[in-house]
Structure formats: structure tokens, C-alpha cells
Structure 1
Amino acid sequence: MKNTFKKITLSALAVFAMASCDEQKLTDLNINKNAPTDVDMRYLLAYGQLRVAGSRYESWRTNLIYSSTMIQHNASLQGYWSGDKYYYNAQYSGAYWESHYPNPIKNLTHVVDKTAGDPEMANVHAAAQIMRAFDLHRMTDIYGDIPYTQAGRGLDGDENWFPAYDSQENIYQFLVADIKAARDEFSTSALPLGAQDVLFQGDITKWKKFANSLLMRIAMRMSNVDPATAESVFTEALSNGAIDSNDSNAFMTQVLGNGGDTNYNGTSLVFSNQAGGGGDNNGKVSKTFMDWMNEHNDPRKMIISGGTGNPYDPSTWNTDPDAQKGLPNGYTSVTITSVNPDFTSVHEYSFVNTEILDLDDPTPFISYAETELMKAEAAVKGWISGDAETYFNNGVRAAMASWAAFGVTPPSDEEVDAYLAGLDFAGASNKLEMIGEQYWAATYLNHIEAWCNYRRTGFPALTPTSDPNNMTSGTIPKRLRYYEDEVGSNPASYKAAVDRQGPDLMTTSLWWDVN
């Protein structure tokens, strides 16, 4: 009887073992043995960089439809160009948030966390940290209080599923600390970034310059609310070496292809006729900007303007500089007749030069021109030694010359000399205004940055538009409203941010905006 029981037991165990073995084999069938178990962090860094440069979706909505028209670089008669007339469009207002949190911020955060503390991966970690900070800096300057500490970490634990919004004041502290730490982490003994670094092709000297110029931008942004800290951050960054030539510009090189790395200003403004959108009714050069260039005999006019006429039909173009005509902001195809009774077609207004909108033109992040103009402002404020006029002239020259990166011939040295002589910065009593105006001109195409600096400085002095359906009581928007999905998907964090910062409206000022 015992032998029989033993045989039955052994047989059962054997069957169970065979079943377990078969079950494991079945489980193993679900594993793709050809799939990589680890992802090259440099690949994710490259992907994150390209996504920070933007997709057509949010580039069109945030950089062009809202920012370029709020700052009166461009204008449009189309109602969906919401920034031109201070309308609220939920999809457009939330587009940057909707696109960047689940894409570049998530990927760059993953790289930062996976490479932290690994000496071999120090360069990858540092570059990812700077790119993450750059994108979150732009995000907070668009919306105000945002998730920073927990951003992109939803897969690390359920405590991050409903991320808290950090106050903008704290975010600025985090930005400075993160960028400084990353800048100082770069090492020639660590794994090289190589060609997968699509921004600087592995040049860590340029990465450090980028980090320092970004710190200077952050310092300037908080200069009206915390001038002591701002001066300290600015001077420390400058002493460590900022962008010092157009060769070091943080311009994302773009290529023609299907890899998501085309220039989305061009996709929106030139190719929207084929891709869907405004076509030849898209954004035009603003009358404000055109008048300013005419007033100062600015040699960039025919770099910015491609002429009047149908941008899709060169036979209609009038490229005579004296014939250029900016489109007033704040009008529709019906109301434009109140200022132009003879209006017949939007083609009588200057369109944006298609030569600076090629799909392989670079996407600007921060430039030598901006760096020198910030130094000019710092000199006027007494933060740094040196001649403010020299910095100002350097900034203007650099801004003019930087258009060569877009495949156009920049103004000649003689033209720039004459332009600077006409400006007479040394003899001017409104030096800060002149710096602000030149910064505005230098950031054409980088319209988000132009809007941010305008809100800080109040320059140039813009006259708001007055469409009767505007949502701001006729004032230039101070922020964009949060992505509407946050109201339902992250209600507690959203409410806490609104309670602290103020109503989720386009008229609510950010922490650093006290103008």
C-alpha cells in the first residue's frame, strides 16, 4: 500500500513538474528574444533633443499662433490665430503641455534617472539634465506653476501618478541648481556623447556654454523679483564661459526626412497649404514689426519679409523693400476694412520669407546675440564691468550674422555699421528699451522667448489689440491656460496650483512678471 502511494505521489509530482515546465515554456513564448533588454541612453537623449525642438502640433499652436502674434512679430486675419486677438482656444493653449510632458520630458527624465551616479555616463546625464531643464523652463514661463520635481516619473511609482505642481519661485531654484550641477559634471574621461548628440555633436565645451547662457537667461527673468540672486547667478555663469560666437549657438540642426526632425516653423507657415491649415492666409509680418524696421532702416527687413503677393506663386511677388506692408494685428478679414477701406486680399501684406522657413533650417534655442544683449543689460544695471555699448553692438552684429545659418545672405558689415551708427546707443537715454527692442528682433522665429522677455521688460512698447471678443479685457496675455485635461485627470494638484498662483486665466501674472 505504501509503495502504491509512493508511486502515485511520484507520478503526480512528475506531472506537476512537467506542467510547470510547459507553463514556463508557454510564458517564454511571449518574450521576444531578439528585442533589446537595454536601450542606449544616448539614443533617448537624441530623441529627447529632437522633441524639445518640437513637433508641428505644438510649434504651430504655441510658437506661432499664440506667441508670434501676441508679441506682434506676425499677424493674421484668421480667427483661429488666437494670440492675434487674445482668444482662448483650449487645444491651442494646452498644446505645449499636452505634447512635451509625455514626450521629451518623460524621455529626458528617464535618461537623467537611469544615468545618475554613473561616472561613465556623466556626459549623457549632464546633457539630458540640461535639456530637461531647458524644456521645463520654457514650460513654466508659458504656464507658471507646473510639475517639475515629479515630472516624467510616473512609471517610477504611484506617488508620481498625480504630480504636484511646484511653485515657479521654487522651480527657478531647481533650474539653477540642476543646470549648474550638470554643467560641472561634464568630463573628458566619461563616455563621449558622439554623433547621437544632435545638438552639439558631442562637443562638451559648447554644452557648457549653452548651460551658462541658459543660466544668464534664467537670471534675467527673475531680475525684477529677486535681483540679488539674479545678479549672483548671472555673474557666476558668465565667469564660467557663455556662448561667445555664432559658431556656438544652440541651434538645433534639422534635416529633410521622416524622422521627426524637420523645422516646424516651416512646416506650419510654408507647407500648411499642403499639410492642412491656413495656406496663403497664414501669418504675415506684423505692421508693428515692419514699421519698427522701417523706422530704424533695419537691414533685416528683406530677410524677414519675402515680399507681398501670394507666397505660393512667385510670379505675384513684389520684393521691392519700399513696397513692403505689415499686417495690423487684431483684425479679421471683415474688420480689417476699418483701417484699410480698400482691402481686397491678404496678399497685399508681406508674407514671411520662405527662405528662412526651409524644413532643414535650424530651430533656435539660445544664441550668441541674446547672450551679448543680456550682457549689455547687465552692464547697464551695474552687474558686470565692461562697456554696455560694446556688448550691445556685438549682440546686434551677431543677430544680423546669424541669419547665415538659414541659408540667406546676412547684411554686410557696412550695412550693420551704418545701422549701429544710426541707433547711437552711446548717446541714448533709453538704453534698456533699445536692448529690449533688439532682443525682440533677435528672437524672431523663437517667438516664445520673445514673448517671455517682453513680459519681463515691457519692451518693445506694444499697443494691445482690441477685438471685441478678446478674453483679456484688451491686454496682452501674461500666460497660457493649463491643458484642460489636467482639470479632470489631476484635479487636486491643479486646484492647489490655481489657489496659490491665481485664476487659470491668460491675465494672471507669473511669479517673475511684475511689470
Structure 2
Amino acid sequence: MKNILRILVAFSFISLTACESFLGDNENPNQATSATPELVLPNALTNTGNLLLSYSSSAQWINGYTVNAGGYGGWGSTVTYNYTTSSYNGLWSSTYDDLINYQYIIEETAENPSLAYFQAVAKTMKAFDFHMLVDVFGDVPYSEGLQGAENVTPAYDSQTAVYQDLVAELNGAIDIFQNAEGANGLGSADVIFGGDINKWAQFANTLKLRLLLRMSSSSETSGFASTEFASMDMGVGFLTDDAILNPGYIATDGKQSPLWNRYHSNAAGSLAGSGRSAIPSIYTYSFYDGTKIIDNGRGAATYRSFLSNTPVGQLGNLVDNPAALSGQTAWYVGTGSGSDATNTIGLLKGRTAGYPIMLAAESYLLQAEAYMKGYLSGDDKGAFENGILASFEYLYKGADGNISSDMDPAADFDTYLAENAGNYLVNYESASSDEQKLEAIITQKYIALNFLNGQESWTEFRRTAYPKIVNGSINPRETFASILSTSSRADELPVRYLYASSEFQLNTDNVPTGVSQFTTLIFWQAQ
């Protein structure tokens, strides 16, 4: 990757050096000239949250979570999938910006055992950022990608090689979390787990599980995945709690919850345009309203005015799609009204609510797939049901992280099972084959990640083709493909993003050419 930021960094360094030589010693004692890992880490983690929101928000237009409301223009490639090399420039550059922070921490702590936990966190988050990048772009600059001004035209590494090395990074991180001696605690620099090293080890292990399941789907990497599964230390465990980022969000512009800010209102109370122009799809809504599954509990915690006048639509319908409800956002659920909402349940929990980096629901459902396929030893039905229950629990929590006193996730989970008796997408024992079990697992993941992580559910759809859609259909309950799609695929969807235009301008000799958003598959995608 060679981007404008790197050139500016290199130019700034040269300019400052020249000025120092010309002007002599003119240091400002109040201006920081270097940053410690302890100071860089919380900022890097916070940037990762913003980055994940960008990945999620771009993907949920593809996977059916949101569709365009009527009365808004400029949808362009959002509804046609006719992407250009400029479509995702920001996503590309922002990911590398964040990665440079983690690489800095890794290098600065390499020879300092007291900061071993900082290095392990940076390795974990490096894997987190890079795998998101690979999942939408494929081959990327990796081995040479974070060298800054020392190499401004880095070579591209194969996506399979990147994934394998990310697993190695996670193995190294887990080893440090388990075995480091005399290391300083993370303290206030850890804005996700509050310094809990065991949870960091579980998070790294769960992320590793996510990667290995993808690798097991490809003939290129299935052998590697099998070896790693066989050597996985089950004593580390996997996440049983939601991984929530919160650097101390407050009801002030630029400092409040990024999810709330983008989809609800700013600190002054002005309703967000994104929250009103992005409305629920009929396809996704059908997993709550009884069309495919009856889910009154999570439906009411996900969609405001559920089963009443919640707006629903179809991507690409520029005329008849209803706009958001008057004076409110389409997604707000909970207590209070409009911009006065405070500690709410559901998706948008409040101005001070943390941002979910990974849900416990996903952790359990990843385990369910690994157990079902025999990669690991465990109870797949139990993990499946724990994943659904964890989804209820997350939605019933407020900004303070506590389940609302008037909500009973366990009781509503039991009702969910009873009302969907015989439906294998809910009652696991009703599945008559491993393929139906996989469909149930991925469908429940699709529901649990609704509006929270579109990136992951889109990836899982491309990997497994679940939840099911009907190729070529224009029925909005059968597919989430846009009715204005320009895709040549049978499912009428894209499979990836195009490389950033900055790469074609500045790293011309290395950036892959001939890439199509409709035909150039990521390695773990079957077709």
C-alpha cells in the first residue's frame, strides 16, 4: 500500500529535519515528540471501533440489513453495485492508518517484557483489522505493507498467506496472554476489557476460530486449518461476554457513541440523516414477523413500532420505499423519545453506550459450527442455543451494560423456542442434516448481528450461501439483492470491493489488475 498519508509523513519528516538544521535547537517543551504504547493503544482501539462501524455500514447495504428510504437521492452504486476504484478509498486508507498504530506498538514493545500485554493486544488487533481488509479486498500489502516511508510501493501478499500469518500472530498473542511473567497490566489503556487478560486471550482465541472456519471452507487452506484445530488449546476458552469498546463516551459532539451519532442524533439532538435514509429491509424483517420465524422479543428490541408501522423496503426501490417515521429515526428502540432518549435497550442504546467489537452470540455460534463439523469437541446444540440466548441478552441491555429490569431474556428465549417448534432454524434438533444445522447456525448469526456487524454476516453469506435467498427473485421476502443490480451473478450480488484508486495512482506496479466486484472471489468463497 502506498497512500497519500505515507507521502505526507515522509515529506513532513524531511521538512522538519531541514528546519531543525536551519533553525538550530528550537524545541517546544510542551509538544510531544514521541508516543508511548500506553498512550497509542486506547486511541488505536477507539479507531478500530470507528473502522468496524464503517465496514459494517457499507456491508449492510449488500446483505439486506438496510435499504434506501424514499425521498433521498444520490444512491448510485449503493443500489447498482457498479463500484469504482474510488468507492472504498476511505475504508482502505483508514484500515492501514489503524494498522500502523498497532505495528508501532508491536515494534516498540518487542524488547520490553514489561509491556508484553500491550504487544499481545496489538498482535490481536492487527489480525482483526487485516482479516477485515482481506475479506473485502482479497490480496493486500502485508509483509511490506506497514513499513511507512521505508517502502512506499509495497508488494501484495496472497490472501491465503495473510490469513495463515494472522493465525500465527494470534497464536503468539495467546501465548503471551497466558505465559507472560512480570508484565505490566494494561490499566486504563484497555478500553475494551478493562485490563482483563483472560478475556483478551479468549477474544484472540475466538477471532482465531473465526479465521479457521473460513480457512476450512477453502481447499487451499483446509489442511492448515485442520492442523490448527488439532493443536488448539481448549483451556483458553472462547468469549462468553460481549466485547464492548467504550473509551468513555459522553453526550458531547465528537465524543458520544459512534453508532448513536451516525444513526440517531448528534449531541445537540438533531436527528441523523443516516438513521432516516437507511431503513429496514422486508427480507431481514421476515426473520422476526412470522414469515420465516416468529421473534416478538428481539423484533421489538430491534425495530421501533414492531409489527405496527415500522418502515420496511427493498433495495433499489427509489419510488415506493417509505421514509423513516416522522420526527424519529427508523431504528431507535427503548425508553425516552426522539433526541431525549438516554439509557435504552435494543440496537441504539444511548449516547454513552459502548460499541460491540464482537458479540458473545457470535462466539457461541462459531463454536456451534466447529463442534457440528467435528473440528473441535463440544456440544453444538448447546452452543447454538447459548448463541441465541446471548443475542437476547445483548439486545435487552442498556447503555450501562445491564439487562433492563423489565426484560427477561431467558423467558423470551423459551417462548421463542416454543413458538417456532419444528422450525429447524430455531429448534436445532429439528434439523435433519448437517447442512440444515449449518443453515440454522448461520441464519441465527445473521439475526444476532443485524445492524451491528454487517461485515461479518455478509462474509458468512458469501462463504456459506446462508441465510437462503432465491436467485433471480424480485420478491423482497426471498432476496436482499437490489432490483437495480448490475451484477452478472445468478444471485445478482457483488462478492468484493475494488482496490482503492490511490493504489493505481501510487503503487501501479503492484496493485492487482483485472479485478471485478462480481467475478473475483475471496479465497474462502465457494462460488
> If the length of structure 2 is used for normalisation, what is the TM-score?
0.79
Letter in 2 for 1:398: A
Task: Select the residue among 193, 202, 211 that pairs with 1:209.
Answer: 202
For the residues of structure 1 that align with 2:456 and 2:126, how far apart are their CA atoms? Answer: 17
Q: Which moved more, 1:482-491 or 1:502-511?
A: 502-511
Assess if the C-alpha contact under 8 Å between 2:391 and 2:448 holds in 1.
Answer: yes
Partner-residue secondary structure (3-state), 1:448:
helix
- 1:452 aligns to what? 459
Which aligned pairs between 1:257-296 and structure 2 lie closer than 5 A? Answer: 262-271=256-265, 278=273, 281-295=276-290, 296=293
Letter in 2 for 1:433: E
Distance 1:455 1:54, change over 3 A: same
Distance 1:488 1:200, change over 3 A: same
Task: Select the residue among 45, 49, 53 that pairs with 1:49.
Answer: 45
- 2:496 aligns to what? 479
Distance 1:468 1:451, change over 3 A: closer
Assess if the C-alpha contact under 8 Å between 2:244 and 2:354 holds in 1.
Answer: yes
Partner-residue secondary structure (3-state), 2:356:
strand
- 1:144 aligns to what? 138
Partner-residue secondary structure (3-state), 1:173:
helix
The runs of 5 or more residues in structure 2 that have no matched partner are 1-18, 334-343, 421-425, 470-478
1:328 aligns with 2:302: no
For the residues of structure 1 that align with 2:316 and 2:106, how far apart are their CA atoms? Answer: 46
Task: Select the residue among 449, 468, 472 that pairs with 1:443.
Answer: 449
Q: What is the total number of aligned residue pairs between the two structures?
A: 458
Partner-residue secondary structure (3-state), 2:314:
coil
For the residues of structure 2 that align with 1:442 and 1:344, how far apart are their CA atoms? Answer: 25
Assess if the C-alpha contact under 8 Å between 1:281 and 1:346 holds in 2.
Answer: yes
Q: Which moved more, 1:440-449 or 1:463-472?
A: 463-472
Deviation at 1:471, TM superposition (A): 4.9
- 1:513 aligns to what? 525
1:189-229 deviation line (CA, Å, top 9, x unaligned)? 11221111112222111110110000000011112113333
Distance 1:238 1:331, change over 3 A: farther
- 1:372 aligns to what? 364
- 1:183 aligns to what? 174
- 2:506 aligns to what? 489
Task: Select the residue among 163, 167, 172 that pairs with 2:158.
Answer: 167
1:400 aligns with 2:392: yes
1:39 aligns with 2:35: yes
- 1:313 aligns to what? none
Assess if the C-alpha contact under 8 Å between 2:66 and 2:278 holds in 1.
Answer: yes
1:363-408 deviation line (CA, Å, top 9, x unaligned)? 2222221121112112221223333211111111111112244447
Partner-residue secondary structure (3-state), 1:351:
coil
Assess if the C-alpha contact under 8 Å between 2:83 and 2:517 holds in 1.
Answer: no
Deviation at 1:433, TM superposition (A): 0.6
- 1:412 aligns to what? 409
1:352 aligns with 2:344: no
Q: Which moved more, 1:389-398 or 1:93-102?
A: 93-102
For the residues of structure 1 that align with 2:323 and 2:456, how far apart are their CA atoms? Answer: 31
Deviation at 1:236, TM superposition (A): 4.0
Distance 1:29 1:466, change over 3 A: closer
Q: RMSD of the alignment, in Å?
A: 2.9
- 2:222 aligns to what? 227
Higher helix residue share = 1
1:243 aligns with 2:238: yes
Assess if the C-alpha contact under 8 Å between 2:389 and 2:409 holds in 1.
Answer: no
Letter in 1 for 2:298: R
Assess if the C-alpha contact under 8 Å between 2:140 and 2:156 holds in 1.
Answer: yes
Partner-residue secondary structure (3-state), 2:288:
helix
- 1:362 aligns to what? 354
- 2:515 aligns to what? 503
Task: Select the residue among 115, 119, 140 that pairs with 1:121.
Answer: 115
User: Which structure has the larger Rg?
Assistant: 1
Assess if the C-alpha contact under 8 Å between 2:203 and 2:239 holds in 1.
Answer: no
Letter in 1 for 2:380: A
Distance 1:380 1:53, change over 3 A: same
Task: Select the residue among 383, 394, 404 that pairs with 1:391.
Answer: 383
Assess if the C-alpha contact under 8 Å between 1:163 and 1:493 holds in 2.
Answer: yes
Task: Select the residue among 69, 81, 84 that pairs with 1:86.
Answer: 81
Assess if the C-alpha contact under 8 Å between 2:485 and 2:492 holds in 1.
Answer: no
For the residues of structure 2 that align with 1:83 and 1:420, how far apart are their CA atoms? Answer: 36
Letter in 2 for 1:305: Y
